[in-house]
Structure 1
Amino acid sequence: MRARAWLALAPALIAALSTAAIAAPRPRLASINVCTDQLLIALADPDQILGLSPYARDAAQSYLAAQAGRFPKLSGEAEDVLMLKPDIVVGGRYTRRATREFLKQQGQRVVEFDAARTLDEARAQITMMGDLVGHPDRAAAANARIDAAIARARKATSDKPFRVLPLERRGWVSGSGSLITSLLATVGLVNAADGLGIRLGGFASLEAVVSLRPDYLLVSEASDFAEDEGRAFVLHPALEGLFPPSKRLTIPENLTVCGGPMLADALDRLTTELTRLER
């Protein structure tokens, strides 16, 4: 009789446990890094986000700067994070160490993300944040978008492995160990920075870039206006002569500063640029 009674109650117990699991509140988080800001905005519910880093609204660094305006802006110090009493603090492993250590000493759970240097690392971080905020389905969808964008970009590339030099203000070059390199390599392009001996990133002289003669430059702006000396480097007559618009790929910097769902947009922009150059 007792066995029958338990069997009769089993479906109700399972349903009750399932309902309790669904009803369990998801964690509330604060972010102290511009890259974890964007992962949170893309994957968490708005009411899970208690505050974002000081750079969350900087459109030059964050692709989701406009959306970040909905959330409190933190100072970057530990004190205002502690006042919010988040369940979890997320940040970069290179975010101020003193801040991270102080938060840990105060009993705060701090989850640290490395700087993503490959598409695989970026996808893994999307999955990690999706699990952290309780939305693995959103993370899976974001990664599927990236995979679809990779497939589109590969169709747009030539069989020839063009040498592309990522060149920014004042001659900054993203090297072979960067996320930019992973993006290029994934679609069959080669980062020409190896020819300059630059691994993660570094400054190159105008003479070095001219001597290298890559097939294309990868820049973050298509504008021909030099608002300062940093921008003037990229628009130097020697470079404009060798690399007119038909020899420049343009991808906004805020699409590649961090690893996250915005990489799908970066790849689609690369596809558009490659298609433009082939016409």
Structure 2
Amino acid sequence: MSRCLARGCRFGASILIALLTLATSALAGPARIASINMCTDQLLLALADPAQIAGLGPYASDPRLSWSAAEALRYPRLSGEAEDLLMLRPDLVLAGRYGKRTTRDLLRAKAVPVAEFDVPRSIDDVKSQIRRASDLIGHPERADALIAKIDAALSRTRAAASRPHDRVLTVSRRGWIAGSDSLTSSLLAAAGLSNAAAELGLPHGGFAALETIVASKPDLILIAEADPAAEDQGQALLLHPAIQRAYPPGKRLVIAEQLTMCGGPMLPAALDRLTAALQRVRP
């Protein structure tokens, strides 16, 4: 009888170990995760174990677009099409809601799990996406750490904010204006600023003519480069004499585009850069 009891104990211990292993595996999240969107690329890089990252999207390693470009060089580059993803056979694919829909539909038809992420329009949206991504990836504690960094940067920005309600117009290539319902607006609001795009009727962004930009007379403009080069007509707009006269260096906030295109690990740097830019133009 003692032998049976011993065997029973050993069997019970084996079952317990197996259950604990399964539970640990579940908590660790999917073993192989791919991303086909530049913003989800950066969430994956910030929240996953290196061994979990099976591949990243086509723009992940482009330093002009991605804040995490250098880190992305360590991982396979995917085309964003379904074919290479099906060959890769990941356990999960992270994608943008406005990416190529046929790719996502084909992946789902082949039973590949796909998690879609929308464009964040506020700092709170970014925090929610970080929590969702970290839960999907299997490391919820990493969301807490990243959100704590964002909150710390927010506190620094709010402490440094002065002259509230200055109007800012964000101007990019060819006169693209960041909309009033955007992450950029949320960043500006954290610093006590307002997005002048609301006055132009551009809640979701859009192109504005040179004359409209000048006539809107914001207190400041936000651009991606301090000294943009006239590489093409789109970039040359920022060098037009009318822009130069209306918005000299003292009326320009400069924040690299990589910091405002997505929401995620770059957000603390974006807030700190905005704070520093305001201190330069409003000493």
For the 8 Å contact 2:127–2:147, the answer to whether it is kept is yes
Number of the residue aligned with 1:21: 23
- Cα RMSD of the aligned pairs, angstroms, is 1.9
Cα distance in structure 2, aligned partners of 1:13 and 1:215: 70
5 Å-filtered alignment, 1:127-166, equals: 127-166=131-170
Q: TM-score, normalised by structure 1?
A: 0.92
Number of the residue aligned with 2:204: 200
Note the C-alpha offset of 1:169.
1.0
Note the C-alpha offset of 1:86.
0.8
Note the C-alpha offset of 1:186.
2.3
Cα 1:100–1:237 shift into 2, 3 Å: same
Note the C-alpha offset of 1:227.
2.1
1:104 equivalent to 2:130? Answer no
Cα 1:224–1:54 shift into 2, 3 Å: closer
What are the superposed Cα offsets for residues 161-196 of structure 1, whole Å, 9 maximum, x if unpaired? 110000011111001111111111122110001111
Cα 1:13–1:182 shift into 2, 3 Å: farther
SS in 1 for 2:112: coil
Cα distance in structure 1, aligned partners of 2:147 and 2:271: 13
Cα 1:50–1:15 shift into 2, 3 Å: same
Counterpart of 2:272, as a letter, is D
Cα distance in structure 1, aligned partners of 2:274 and 2:199: 22
Number of the residue aligned with 2:191: 187
SS in 1 for 2:234: helix
Cα 1:142–1:195 shift into 2, 3 Å: same
What are the superposed Cα offsets for residues 90-127 of structure 1, whole Å, 9 maximum, x if unpaired? 10111110000000000111111111111111110001
Cα distance in structure 2, aligned partners of 1:225 and 1:55: 22
For the 8 Å contact 2:29–2:136, the answer to whether it is kept is no
What are the superposed Cα offsets for residues 22-47 of structure 1, whole Å, 9 maximum, x if unpaired? 35553110111111101001110111
Cα distance in structure 1, aligned partners of 2:80 and 2:22: 36
Q: Paired residues, what number?
A: 270
1:266 to 257, 265, 270: 270
Note the C-alpha offset of 1:18.
4.8
1:252 equivalent to 2:256? Answer yes
The farther-off stretch of 98-107 and 191-200 is 191-200
SS in 2 for 1:190: strand
Number of the residue aligned with 1:84: 88
Aligned residues: percent identity? Answer: 55
Cα distance in structure 2, aligned partners of 1:224 and 1:135: 40
Cα distance in structure 1, aligned partners of 2:139 and 2:252: 39
1:223 to 227, 231, 234: 227
Which runs of 5 or more structure 2 residues have no equivalent in the other structure? none
Counterpart of 2:139, as a letter, is H
Note the C-alpha offset of 1:199.
1.2
Cα 1:50–1:272 shift into 2, 3 Å: same
